[in-house]
Structure 1
Amino acid sequence: MHREIETDIAIIGGGVGGYAAALSACRMGRQVILTEETDWIGGQLTSQAVPPDEHRWIEQFGCTRSYREFRQGVRAYYKRHFPVTAQAQAAYYLNPGNGGVSRLCAEPRAMLEVLQAMIAPFIHSGRLTLLLRSRPVSAETDGDTVRSVTVQEAYGRRLTIRAPYFLDATECGDLLPLAGVEYVTGAESRADTNEPHALEGPADPHDIQAFTWCLAMDYLEGENHVIDKPKDYSFWRKYRADFWPDQQLSWVSPNPVTLEPNEETLFWGTDKYPLFIYRRIIDRANFLQGTYPGDISIINWAQNDYWLGRIYDVPPHEAQRHLEGARQLSLSLLYWLQTEAPRPDGKAGYPGLRLRPDVTGTADGLAQAPYIRESRRIRAQFTVLEQHVSAAVRGDQGAVPFADSVGIGCYRIDLHPSTAGRNYLDISSLPFQIPLGSLLPVRVRNLLPACKNIGTTHITNGCYRLHPVEWNIGEAAGALAAFCLDQAAEPHQVRSDAAKLEAFQTLLTSYGVELAWPKIGAV
């Protein structure tokens, strides 16, 4: 069965950026179709089970108003529906999990509830059509214009979507090759970008950051929840990369900044950092006794980063092999934790660790989709380079200001180990702006990137890839498409015409998108 449908704006991919784009375009009165491959909208926040990585000023400034509304909505969700303690109820900036990675660690399903509530008025009114379990399979183009995108829905049905504007918000930039949009993958050469940390030799399009298949678990002391031995456990139990200080299934990993060996543990009780606390999404101390049997945490550590191969721009069987490899790595890490991990008390293993499939909305407790750090990236009118945002390069000057700013972000340049066997790169950056030019393909006129697929490099992807930045990118892209429809203009004209650019930036500001930072230091 093959159907066709028309809309104002088609957003392919319902992750953080795609969701924010849909929210933005709907608020501006446009008809929107939003597709998503998994069962849940929200990407990193939900289907990938990644608590948000954010800068330290996130509660005061440095994100869009709608992103802050979402964050406060998550806190209100717990306070309204759960038996929280009096102390938790009184905490204005409640952190349900009290995790170390973020000021807002919470269950993916709770975040999903809030995301769904925020778009409910548009779904109920018919302005937003949400198509879950749908992935793009082809696109029709006419010169520099995308005419339609066809997605495969559940049960093998196909739907062709026709629209004046298409936004690629897929996790790997999957719409770019389908629509013939010029793009880049992997690591650039220093000869091409002059970036201090770019490759000294030729560019390597296959040098892509590790991805991770996260899982949710809790811990019940005295109980036995050991899973069946994963089929690839023998391989992962022995595996050690040349650039790693120990076997991957161990407590030893490189310090991301110094690359010196760093020893960790699971719980408090020693001077080593407890990994269970790092991405803990439920701290039962925030709730009345008996609400949760134990704390809940997400495994998204160095130990389950997968760098043995790529999952895009490779044959389907190869992509599937690496996806399954990442799942096996995460299950093997859990099995090692349950059965062999050295404990401070001299024992081995924590059999009370229990997978929580209800938390992730899956049958096995692993996330619905892998956490992708690095996507295909458009060849853009303007590409953000390391020297635009690096603290070492810019010093006290601050990041390079962009007159065409459509938002702001802040995070360290954080690159995980790569498929080329390169270790972490974690260096200081400065609070930065998101230039409109990085959202504009060099040729195609009506397709916009809406997540991690903008005009950055392998290096600057490391600070432009996090949750609040992706939300801002998506919100700006959705607003830009709606603005262009209202003004009968093209996105490239908005950047090149001073009056149109000013009008668009004024519009963004009215919706609570911050375009510039106050003067603050490096991160």
Structure 2
Amino acid sequence: MKRRHKVAYHQTSLISLSLISTLIAPYFAFIFAARANAAPRTPDKSVNCEILVVGGGLSGVATAYEGLLAGRTVCLTEITDWLGGQISAQGTSALDERPTQRARQFYSRGYLELRNRIERKYGELNPGDCWVSDSCFLPRDAHNILNQMLKDAEKRGRGKLQWFPNTVIKDLDISTNGKIINSAIAIQHQPVKGSPPLNTLTLSQSIGDAYRYQNSSRFNKTIISFIPQQSKTNAPKWYVVDASETGEIIALADVPYRLGIDARSYLEPSSSSTTNDPYCTQGFTYTFAMEATKEPQQQKMPPFYLQYSPYFSYELTRLANFDLVFTYRRIWSPRKGKPATFGGVKFTAPTPGDISMQNWTWGNDYRPGTARDNLVYTRQQLQGTGQLKPGGWMGGLRTESLRKAEENALSFFYWLYAGTTDSQLGNGVKQPRTNNKLLTGINSPMGTAHGLSKYPYMREGRRVIGRPSWGQPGGFGIWEIDISRRDYNDEYYRKTLPADMYRRLRAALSGLEAVSVIEGRVSPDKAMRRTRSTIFPDSVGIGHYAIDFHPCMVNSPPEAPGNIERPGERRGAGQAYPFQIALRAMIPQKIDNLLVGGKSIATSHIAAAAYRVHSFEWSAGAAAGTVAAFAIKNAVAPYQLVDDLPKSEPQLEALKRLLKQNGNPTAFPDTSIFNENWDNWR
């Protein structure tokens, strides 16, 4: 029998005016404070690390997990007070997985343990009875499960975990030759005695304060200096892993990276632009939890609702059903409702007490795409705001866009409750559904007084550019054609791409016939297209998901009436082959003891749309933790494992054997240049 656990939380049925006012309040003060940021005070303490992991999301937790099992001292920082990123602080606690990989349970060992612990917690894997995933659950439980996993890994591996919640990296000390991070300065904040608890304020209200050295009326600060443990070797004594959600450390360290759309090329033939556009990244989302109630609720219209309501939509006719949307990511269902079907989708109808997490493209997604409102600052914008100067780093995000995304999310809840308009399908499609309430309070599913996730779900941030490599002299990266199943015989590509670009595209996809295509001895249209992803000799992890887009909007602000998605952005969307994580994608230029995990590895804009989901993040983190521990043990820098490719790299092979031995696969079954039968992997 399935076990059901009681869920206790404070429920608020009104979006109060006092709550709304807090969204607008003192964020301006933080912007001004950032411009006049005072010099740091002397660190309050120094902490020794072998592996410093910046970011406590799934990639960061996986990095720490493997580092601890390898017996290393791991320092783990996180801007919020929850571990888990996507499945906790960002609220997207619905595992994005592909059917074949899930059926074969072909995942990293830590990710399998996470899934098993979720099932043990609830007595089933899907306590929410959602239909988007095989596992939807409560964000708070994800944090608790991961916290226990790290404690257990610490004991099993005899490592040492030092966990720093509510902590941000403020500055880096980089060696004079620019190759080594010598130390990192961090700021940890706690509420001033007598002030409201953490997670009372939204991120837009607190982020500026979190990055200031000075104590404030709300937060007391502890300044921490992270330094390496002593070592007798000449190799780097410690490793810093950027597992942040937006590529904070690669920006702060000022190593080369990409942001937004890449220019159309034979590697990225479906790009919506002939030039780079750093301002158009995928939409980000403040998720929230809402509960189905027996009785109708009374809600007040947010004062900013009319600004955002022209944006909201069910998006497609086959999705235009409240119950369908509610159960899509339902994270808690104490009793099963009646079977229902809409648009060909089968689900169980909501019942009182059901909790749904909302993450909807034409809803609480916020999708800026211009230089006036982009969330993740470009290098030029960072320079212009003084964030690349010593002591000037303030997180690299536009606070105004965070604030507006928070308003947009609260407005979307009200639209689900009372809305009657639909921006894409027209009026008459959406009907009010008043038997619902927003769940708020520190003990609510999102763990915040306002009911929004502690941090937005980030689909895309800065993406590092790897070091020059054979075949990619400008810097290594993983591109659209490395993973996409798309049929590039489509007339669009023949007409749109210049002849030489089209020939290079077909050659790159043709495997053994590539030289003949380039030399013109074989017509591009007659070359056999490979039916698998690119095989990387330095693969250290795996992933599989569709190329899934939440495109930016054309005009500013995103919610403007009649606004549209960037034309052509969805062209690159579609199915992908099972893919690999190349070690070269995790090694930045210039700095030798910095590794990159999670969404900031070296991928293109289109490839990143697949390289962003839960199991991939874990696999990338597991690779980062293993590589760092291996490098320390063997006194070798990670770049030295791949600098002679495509020649044989014995130490790289030893690393790959270690990953496999530890239950962290680096390739899918039967991966080979001679195996062209990947159509069954869905």
Query: Per the shorter chain, which TM-score range?
Result: 0.7 to 0.9
Contact 1:140 1:179 in 2 (8 A): no
Match of 2:287 in 1: 214
Match of 1:75 in 2: 119
The answer to which of 450-459 and 119-128 deviates more is 119-128
User: What is the deviation of 1:349?
Assistant: 1.6
The number of residue pairs the alignment matches comes to 482
Match of 1:383 among 467, 477, 489: 477
The answer to whether the 8 A contact 2:461-2:599 is kept is yes
Provide the rounded CA distance (Å) in 2 between the counterparts of 1:435 and 1:383: 9
Question: Which string of whole-angstrom CA distances, capped at 9 and with x for unpartnered residues, describes residues 84-120 of structure 1?
Answer: xxxx6xxxxx311121221111111121221111112
Tell me whether 1:161 sits opposite 2:226 in the alignment: yes
**Are residues 141 and 250 of structure 1, via their aligned partners in 2, closer, same or farther at CA, if it must alter by over 3 Å?**
same
Q: How far apart are the structure 1 equivalents of 2:609 and 2:322? A: 27
- Structure-1 separation of matches of 2:612 and 2:538: 20
Q: What residue number does 1:242 align with?
A: none
Shift in Å, 1:158: 1.5
Match of 2:632 in 1: 485
TM-score by length of structure 1 reads 0.87
AA at the equivalent of 1:387: I
CA distance in 2, matches of 1:59, 1:188: 34
Is the 1:225–1:352 contact (alpha carbons within 8 Å) kept by the matching residues of 2?
no
Match of 2:618 in 1: 471
CA distance in structure 2 between the partners assigned to 1:368 and 1:492 by the alignment: 36
Contact 2:319 2:325 in 1 (8 A): no
Residue deviations 1:377-426 (CA, integer Å, cap 9, x gap): 11113210111111125555311111111111111111211155415522
1:307 aligns with 2:373: no
**Equivalence map 1:158-307=2 (5 Å):** 158-163=223-228, 164-191=238-265, 194-226=267-299, 228-238=300-310, 248-251=311-314, 253=315, 263-267=319-323, 274-285=324-335, 293-302=352-361, 303-307=363-367
CA 1:331–1:167 in 2, change beyond 3 Å: closer, same or farther? Answer: same
SS in 2 for 1:401: coil
Query: Which blocks of at least 5 consecutive residues in structure 1 are unaligned?
Result: 80-87, 89-93, 239-247, 255-260, 268-273
Partner of residue 372, structure 1: 458
Q: Which residue of 2 aligns with 1:325?
A: 404
Residue pair 2:69, 2:159 contacting (<8 A) in 1 also: no
Per-residue CA distance 1:125-174 (angstroms, 9 max, x = gap): 77000000001111110111111111111022211111321000111111
Which residue identity lines up with residue 398 of structure 2 in the other structure?
A
In the alignment, what sits opposite 2:70? 28
Q: Does the aligned pair in 1 maintain the 2:262–2:273 contact within 8 Å?
A: no
| Structure 1 residues 129 and 351: alpha-carbon distance in aligned structure 2, compared to 1, 3 A threshold | same
C-alpha distance in 1 between matches for 2:319 and 2:531: 37
Q: 2:68–2:159: 8 Å Cα contact kept in structure 1?
A: no
Q: Which runs of structure 2 are paired with 1:98-137 in the superposition (5 Å)?
A: 98-121=129-152, 127-137=160-170
Amino acid at match of 2:188: E
Match of 1:243 in 2: none
Kindly tell me: are residues 225 and 502 of structure 1, through their superposed partners in 2, closer, same or farther at Cα, counting changes over 3 Å? farther
Query: Is the Cα–Cα contact under 8 Å of residues 306 and 326 in structure 1 kept in the other structure?
Result: yes
Cα separation, 2, equivalents of 1:389 and 1:250: 31
- Cα distance change, pair 72–520 in 1 and its aligned pair in 2 (3 A): farther
| Alignment-mate amino acid for residue 236 of structure 1 | Y
Distance 1:476 1:347 in 2: 46
Tell me the alpha carbon deviations over residues 3-42 of structure 1, each in whole angstroms, 9 at most, x when there is no partner.
2222111001101100100001110000010000001010
The alpha carbon displacement at 1:356 in A equals: 2.1
Q: What is the rounded CA distance, in whole Å, between the counterparts of 2:174 and 2:298 in structure 1?
A: 52
CA contact (8 A) 1:341 1:350 kept: no
Question: Which residue of 1 is the match for residue 49 of structure 2?
Answer: 7
Percent sequence identity is 32
Give CA-to-partner distance per residue, 1:249-268, whole Å, 9 cap, x none.
233x15xxxxxx6551111x
Residue identity in the other structure for 1:336: W
In the TM superposition, residue 223 of structure 1 has moved relative to its aligned partner by 3.2
Q: Greater shift after overlay, 325-334 or 493-502?
A: 493-502
Residue 517 of structure 1, aligned match among 668, 671, 682: 668
Shift, 1:237, TM fit: 1.8
In 1, Cα distance between the equivalents of 2:397 and 2:651?
46
1:398 to 2:429 alignment:
no
Question: Which residue of 178, 181, 196 corresponds with 1:146?
Answer: 181
Provide, for residues 410-450 of structure 1, a one-character-per-residue CA deviation record: whole Å limited to 9, x for no partner: 11111211155415522121111111111111221110111
Q: Residue 62 of structure 1: CA displacement?
A: 3.3
The answer for the alignment partner of 1:53 in structure 2 is 96
Are 1:16 and 2:58 counterparts? yes
Note the alpha carbon deviations across 1:261-287, whole angstroms, 9 max, x for none.
6551111xxxxxx11111111122269
Counterpart residue type for residue 180 of structure 2: T
Which secondary structure state, in structure 1, belongs to the residue aligned with residue 357 of structure 2? strand
1:516 to partner: Cα distance: 1.5
SS of match in other structure, 2:102: coil
Q: Which amino acid aligns with 1:362?
A: T
How does the TM-score come out when normalised to structure 2? 0.67
- 5+ long unaligned stretches in structure 2: 1-41, 190-219, 229-237, 338-350, 386-393, 468-475, 489-508, 510-528, 555-564, 670-676
- Name the SS of the counterpart of 1:473 in structure 2: helix
* Paired residues of 1:277 and 1:297 also in contact (CA < 8 A): yes
Letter in 2 for 1:311: L
1:257 maps to what in 2?
none
Secondary structure, counterpart of 2:621 in structure 1: helix
Q: Quick check: 1:422 aligned with 2:556? A: no
Structure 1 residues 443 and 126: CA distance shift in structure 2, 3 A = closer
Q: Which one has the largest radius of gyration?
A: 2
Q: How far 1:351 moved relative to its partner?
A: 2.1
> Which residue is equivalent to 1:82?
none
1:397 match: secondary structure: coil
| Residue 370 (structure 1) shift | 0.2
Is structure 2 residue 599 aligned with structure 1 residue 452? yes
